[in-house]
Structure 1
């Protein structure tokens, strides 16, 4: 959810400008030069505990890069950036600002409530890719981000950086950004606490020149040794030493143990302040940002402007916020100490201070920090009042995580009195913790029996939504139809949510006429400013119908429109463009636009996963697995399916679990590991799941379902004759149901089965018909995903057409060439034909390592994946492959695997 209206310019200025440099800073020349000369790496990670000068070093590196004509953008992260939409809005502003500086004109990336998060992420990546000059994007305080969705977005941005771009991250911990792979490729530069620690010469410069403390060499060495170059401790020590006469004695007593240093020194410094300053420091420590007006509200009668000026002049842990005149923040270590001290000394003041801060933010029209302060101060009654006033607008803005955090922090009795708060809590819980917890809360709340029509409207919209997310489609269908009859016409929000959801459910039930009626009803409920969401929904549902009917080009066009349509999504909890984005990626995958498909999937699958829609998770993770397999990264392919299976268990979605196992069985079948595939097929055969799939038109199972997987296994494992009659019956059933894409997939398997039983001419005739139908719509992966079995037949059809005297259809010829290229080496060699010329034995025995490599080749590993798995170079892998081919008298890897299987060396 992106809400630029709530991201005021002063706020953005705080996040998008690095801290100001001060005269006391030591120039970190070694680190600066290291960064300047590492332009080839993608990621520079500055990682160390608090107080090691990460931010200062990054600011200095930024300044040096700017001097060398490298464009830069800065963003300081905080806990609120775990909201993917808020993070993207701020990042869009940072990147837009950098682009504007280069172009000399305003060039913002639009990131307001009119756009879905996935759209903004893609535009950010596109803007970075098109940036004309070298650039570095700095993200500081990255440890504040823990949300997997945000981390995946950053990983996707990192993966798609152009050669001239870099990401510089400052963090206390190791971010989950795939560092191992970057490290192995030489694309990661790590600057850790060892490099950030002050050396003795830097400590001497800091204390004697910057802080102007006259200390003997022995004291400097002792202080350096005790602090081990920890910059925060040295800074705090210098503040304490300023007012001490017996400096050597102080240094002798000094203890340099991490946060204990901060606590000891802060207490020592605080105790030496005048009472008025000490009181001011304690009472304003609850604030994240300080300005005179806000501080006056907390401490009436105080000249806060004068005190802030005094603290700034004394350099007493107060950092000016660049871009906001006379606005500051405390050093985080110092602020933490002050708040703990306030709780110990003045516990009764906490409630008053937070109430005052809350009231100040209310007057400023900033309900979010107002509610935050009310809750932090334990003033839950006031927080509930504010929530009652603003919760609906926050709900419609999609602020689910924020709402969920607030509800979790408040005692239940504070919200129990308000039916509105309880029902909004259900919405928030549904899309952060899952529909099962939300359903339980709804039952406990008693809102189902409310006399308030507004509350009942929410309940009516919630029930089918939660049932659908729990993959209980048929129940959702029945409950939703009842709800449509009872829903008040006047409630636009709940009416649109219900109509849109029911349109999709009806399509899954096969009731397309009712689906279109509901989509029209949803359009009528919305004004023109919010109709984009319904356009996205209707185009997506109609695209799914087109896809089932084999109209890939039209479906792709609809999905593309849907992805770009959501300019005003007030119901982001349904996934916004993540819903359409996964479907669009699936159509691009089918057309073999693999790079763009993967690009979209990395953006949209994490967002779809958060919503928890079963079909989108199955489609998304299955495609990611197949893309990894296509690259030869078999380990990653299986990892994607394991993650999908885990999500199914975690969300109690048996269909997701069975689908992960089914795709694993398909992959094992393609690898000719038939015994393992058989076992996985049996494990995936949850009867009630596939009975439901047979009744419904679920998007994830149009061409992948258990009965089809069984037929594929029979055809590939050598029982093609038994499968032929079943395939014919399945094709007939699919055609009668207008499921033409399914029929096309079944006909591909039918052609392979005909060839397996020796019906060569019939197989080629069937495949030729398939190719003409598939070519008219641009289907590629539907055939390619059936591996070399389909490739052999496609190549034979292409050869026959080429050998015919007439020229034929040039468009069809181009399609066949595209298809053969998509198959890759499998289309250029035919194991069945090559076996007739194979030697009856090996020219020379294979080593154990070569046998292992052959086994990995059979599983589908690429050369680069083999190199990574075996910890050798690509050239070493190529040498092994040449040796293997020579020993087996094979011309290529396909023949080598075939010979090895015939000789019983591998399965």
Structure 2
């Protein structure tokens, strides 16, 4: 029944307000590929879509989503089943593809689905309700593929509290996207007047209704709750005066007012059943120990008391989310014993009726940990490697003492923490689990100890490495090798995952490159000759990257090529991309940019991950970085639009490289203040995390941007800091990959004594000369290297040459005249000129025009 509920168009209440203009608005979607209905809870998204679907002449496939549907196979299984309810033979050819799905077959599935959709001969609408529960990359990718080739008679309607993760900008540009938002959904005065007229006992004036609409901002649930409360109050005028338009205040105040007006028996029913996400009379009777629960459910529906029928037969129901949260909070805080009992009763009913996962959550809420562990152990094969978030939610709810004597729970707990990126917690759990498992070692057989101990030590090694405790990490690795010389299935956790931390980049985790060299060599010697040991790929990639940084290109290339030839690393997107990007930058450094780009294009076709879109963005960011190194005048606008980054976004560890490219592109397109602000926040993050390599690279970027802006004093302060951090470790490529601008800066440093402080902490000159020798070409040419203009500055300079005024230039490049004036000032400063004529002349002399 829970499955069928998802595919039924929710029942429309008989007293629903007819909103013809909004229904007409929804009809526009039949001329578009995609219609997005977005608003926060309580704006009637599901209600209006249900009403529209009921009266539409199109064939409707409805899917109500929740947090458990964020997985590719279940999601599309529901959609196909929805089609089959109308056209039984629709998915005959699709089920074998879906049920045997792998990340390689996403294009096969979507292409096959498009083929079946193309054969349909009338308008069909797929409605995905509550899509905010879905953020799975494969689901988003498949919908994106569908939208790109959707037949004219097929339309997708999505309701959500937030914009979906897949890109819709292109559809909007092609007029294939229709959007309905809060402004469209909110009750206007006419809607509200009609609504209150249906409640004849509320004799409100137009002015009073207008006040309620204004203060509620048209929030439909707020108006409904207001009406319910006013039916019980004797002073409506006072109520209206005190009515607040803040949604949180409305929910906290009005829900309590509605609740207090119910009978004692009904309040008891509401409180106890609030723990249920979905309910029928049988489940309600088990939870409340009351009879006639079907009558109570239907009574609540007739009262329109924030209960939603999930089927036309009035069997399954759910409460409105805000109402449910209020009731649960009240039950837990005021009647805690009843809260525990309600959850326990729910758990027993759900387990008996085949809903084991839901039962675990209720057992945990009821603090019935023994029962929860019993079910978790039963479900481990289903959650292992596929539902780390679910497993993490369960295991973090268990008190430590309940895990004692459960070594497999201990092991899976650590795996779940790693799976969701909680590395410091995973390290602590590893230390605790080590003590517990060692205590029972004598009671385990040798194979049992090897399995448990080996897995434990592997987790210990990688978590200690993430925390920069390299001595402890190597100790754990040696213990792991002694117990499991052939490795285990856990060693590639996160190998196809985009998120988490940079635990696989040794050069970020070990600040001393010489220590990193020793650490890497230890693992290469231990694992390098093993044939089926993909974890070695992380260390070989880091070894190649380290040699590249030291400008030992031939050695670095040999290792990277040998690593990419290993068959055992091929299934792991994260590792393949890391190694390929190292090889690509080696190729470019050796003068083969075409080969570098070819490598990156090839790796795009090999990615096998549910997070393919994020990985592709990383590859394309690196491609752009290489292109800009070769041709600073190249356009970066396309990637900038696609990235969907914002310079105010919070900084985290794994997308750090993408944000570094983003900052460079911002500067490249003339948004230098935004670029510098982002880079400074990145530096602060790297400083907090103790990541010297990131600090060096960020300071280099800041210095180049400031230098090109003519802010030489600030630029050299940052460059000297980067040199100070880099010199002891022998960094080379991080500097010379920045091209002639940085070379000119380095040359100025050795030829302008006052740029280096007299009491400098290191002797910069030998190191700077070493870096300059690493550049190709002779130093006098570097001395005459000219400053580079940004893409926007080059465009404006060409228009200055054509004799255009500031206003005319502004119209051409779609910016304000003031912004044009600011760019021209920067151009003058870089070219060391004072007017337009001098600027054009200087630009021609330097081959900038």
**TMscore range, shorter length:** 0.5 to 0.7
In 2, distance between residues paired with 1:325 and 1:389?
34
Number of corresponding residues = 721
Q: Which residue of 2 aligns with 1:456?
A: 453
Task: State whether residues 585 and 596 of structure 1, in contact with CA within 8 Å, keep that contact through their aligned partners in structure 2.
Answer: no
Q: How does 1:714-793 map to 2 (within 5 A)?
A: 714-715=743-744, 719=748, 746-747=775-776, 750=777, 753-755=779-781, 788=788
Change (3 A) 1:414 1:448: closer
CA contact (8 A) 1:359 1:370 kept: yes
| 2:621 aligned with 1:633 | no
Contact 1:237/1:265 (8 A) holds in 2: yes
Q: CA distance change for structure 1 residues 10 and 43 in 2, over 3 Å: closer, same or farther? A: closer
Aligned to 2:165: 154
2:220 maps to 1:191 = no
Q: Secondary structure of the equivalent of 2:324? A: helix
User: Following TM superposition, by how much is the alpha carbon of 1:730 offset from its aligned partner in structure 2, in angstroms?
Assistant: 6.1
* Structure with greater helix share of residues: 1
Residue matched to 2:147:
128
Match of 2:427 in 1: 439
Deviation at 1:580, TM superposition (A): 6.9
Post-superposition offset of 1:319: 0.9
- Look up the match of 2:656: 617
Cα deviations across residues 664-706 of structure 1 (Å, max 9, x unaligned)?
A: 223334445433221111233453x565574xxxxxx8x4x14
- 1:598-625 CA distance string (max 9 Å, x none): 5775599999986x44xx623x223222
Tell me the distance in 1 between the aligned counterparts of 2:796 and 2:81.
46
Q: Name the SS of the counterpart of 2:308 in structure 1.
A: strand
For residue 196 of structure 2, the aligned residue among 207, 212, 215 is: 207
Q: CA RMSD in A?
A: 6.1
Once the two structures are TM-superposed, the CA of residue 51 in structure 1 deviates from its matched residue by 4.4
Which among 396, 409, 412 is matched to residue 424 of structure 1?
412
User: Is it true that 1:114 corresponds to 2:102 in the alignment?
Assistant: yes
Q: CA deviation at 1:385?
A: 3.6
Per the alignment, do residues 272 and 729 of structure 1 end up closer, same or farther by CA in structure 2, a change over 3 Å counting? closer
SS in 2 for 1:138: strand
Report matched runs for 1:252-331 at 5 Å. Answer: 256-257=243-244, 277-299=266-288, 302=291, 304-305=293-294, 307-321=296-310, 326-331=315-320
Which secondary structure state, in structure 1, belongs to the residue aligned with residue 715 of structure 2?
helix
Q: Deviations over 1:39-90 (max 9, x none)?
A: 99x9988657x645565567678999x88x9x99988776779xxx659986
Task: State the SS of the aligned residue for 1:492.
Answer: coil
Alignment of 1:474-553 (within 5 A): 480=477, 483-487=480-484, 489=486, 491-494=488-491, 499-510=533-544, 523=568, 533-534=571-572, 537-538=575-576, 541=579, 544-545=582-583, 547-550=585-588
How far residue 534 of structure 1 moved from its aligned partner, in angstroms, is: 3.9
Structure 1's unaligned 5+ residue stretches are: 1-6, 143-150, 171-189, 524-530, 695-700, 734-745, 764-785, 792-821, 835-842, 901-907
Aligned residue for 1:590? 626
Q: In the alignment, what sits opposite 1:684?
A: 722
1:667 counterpart = 2:705: yes
Give the 3-state SS of the residue equivalent to 1:24 in structure 2.
Answer: coil
Decide whether aligned partners of structure 1 residues 268 and 644 sit closer, same or farther in structure 2, where only a CA change above 3 A counts: closer
Contact 2:38 2:159 in 1 (8 A): no
> How has the CA–CA distance of structure 1 residues 333 and 546 changed in structure 2, closer, same or farther, with 3 Å as cutoff?
closer
What is the match of residue 26 of structure 1? 17
Report the counterpart of residue 889 of structure 1 in structure 2.
Answer: 837
Change (3 A) 1:334 1:123: closer
Q: 1:138 aligns with which of 151, 158, 161?
A: 158
Distance 1:141 1:9 in 2: 23
Aligned positions of 1:330-369 closer than 5 A: 330-343=319-332, 346-363=335-352, 365-369=354-358
- Distance in structure 2 (CA, Å) of the matches to 1:425 and 1:12: 32
Distance of aligned partners of 1:281 and 1:331 in 2 relative to their CA distance in 1, 3 Å threshold: same
Query: Cα offset for 1:548?
Result: 1.7
Q: Which has the higher contact order (CA 8 A, sep 6+)?
A: 1
* Contact 1:317-1:331 within 8 A present in 2 as well: yes
Residue 35 of structure 1 deviates from its aligned partner by: 8.4
Task: Note if contact 2:647-2:677 (Cα within 8 Å) is conserved in structure 1.
Answer: no
Give the conservation status (yes or no) of the 8 Å contact 1:110–1:120: no
Q: Say if 1:504 and 1:515, in contact at 8 Å, map to a contact too.
A: no
> Could you tell me how far 1:287 is from its partner in structure 2?
0.7
Q: Report the Cα distance in structure 2 between the residues aligned to 1:455 and 1:324, rounded to whole angstroms.
A: 52
Corresponding residue of 1:713: 742
Q: Once the two structures are superposed, what CA deviation does each residue of 1:406-433 show, in whole Å capped at 9, x if it has no partner?
A: 4444433334553433443334434546
Distance 1:678 1:160 in 2: 46
Q: Is the 8 A contact 2:377 2:409 kept in 1?
A: yes
Alignment-derived partner of residue 520 in structure 2? none
Residue 668 of structure 1 contacts residue 677 of structure 1 at CA under 8 Å; is this kept in 2? Answer: yes
**Aligned in 2, Cα 1:162/1:371: closer, same or farther, shift over 3 Å?**
farther
State the alpha-carbon separation in 1 of the partners of residues 685 and 86 from structure 2. Answer: 44
Tell me the CA shift for residue 307 of structure 1: 4.2
The 1:274–1:160 alpha-carbon spacing in structure 2 relative to 1, beyond 3 Å, is same
2:285 touches 2:293 (CA, 8 Å); kept in 1? Answer: yes
Aligned partner of 2:516 in structure 1 is: none
Counterpart Cα distance in 2 of 1:463 and 1:715: 47
CA separation of 1:292 and 1:624: change in aligned 2, threshold 3 A: same
CA contact (8 A) 2:727 2:767 kept: no
Q: Deviations over 1:232-279 (max 9, x none)?
A: 35434555677x7xx866676675346676667656655665666554
Judge conservation of contact 1:467–1:473 (CA < 8 Å) in 2.
yes
Query: How far has the Cα of 1:316 moved from its partner?
Result: 3.6
Structure 1 residues 590 and 720, CA, compared in 2 at 3 Å: closer, same or farther? same
Alpha-carbon spacing, 1:433–1:722, altered in 2? closer, same or farther (3 Å): same
Candidates 384, 391, 399, aligned match of 1:411? 399
